[in-house]
A = this chain, B = another copy of it.
């Protein structure tokens, strides 16, 4: 149910997720994995385009705080701010992007800060896996912003 909902967000409301052929291959207590075929994400060298890997990592990371908000029944905008990308080696085949859940107290803190101060932050480090190695990594801070209400 939750997985179907997230899938519809990632590929239904974000056209690039659909164009990339992205699908959720795992969503459990340890984290999320997205699977992507090479063909729609290829570059001129026949390997995965850096922008496609960046997009998939941004979405894998974004999915986790998005699920925290949904589970808590909180309506908030969730944005990515400054982040660092590293491209470590070329990816010449279909690939997986993973993001692990942070510690439970960090997830709790994210929600507490959001509800008490109107802004919650969560640091995440999704990565691209290829042949059992990290092929690319993203270090990103996601910020949830409470929607302004009339006072």
- Which residue on B lies nearest to A77, using beta carbons? B45
Q: Which residues of B contact A58 (CB under 8 A)?
A: 50-51, 54
Which B residues lie within 8 Å of A84 (CB)?
82-85
Name the B residues within 8 Å of A77 (CB-CB). Answer: 45
Q: With a CB–CB cut-off of 8 A, which chain B residues contact A80? A: 50, 87
- Which one of A10-18, A25-33, A101-109 is at the interface? A10-18
Q: Are A9 and B55 in contact (CB under 8 A)?
A: no
Q: Given A55-B54, A58-B50, are A20 and B16 also a contact pair (CB < 8 Å)? A: yes
Give the chain B neighbours of A45 by CB distance below 8 A: 77
Kindly list chain B residues whose C-beta atoms are within 8 Å of the C-beta of A39.
15
Are A16's CB and B44's CB within 8 A? no
Q: How far is the CA of A87 from the CA of B138 in the complex (A)?
A: 14
A residues 85-144 with Cβ under 8 Å of B? Answer: 85-87, 90
Measured CA separation A90–B79 after assembly (Å): 9
CA distance A84 to B54 in the complex (A): 11
Which residues of chain B are near A9, meaning CB under 8 Å? 44
Interchain nearest-CB distance for A93 vs B (Å):
16
Residue of B nearest to A41 (CB): B16
**A150, B40: Cα distance in complex, Å:** 33
Complex contact A55–B44 (CB within 8 A): no
Provide the A55-79 mask, 1 if CB < 8 A to any CB of B, else 0. 1101100000000000000000101
Task: Please give me the residue from chain B that is nearest to A40 by CB atom.
Answer: B15
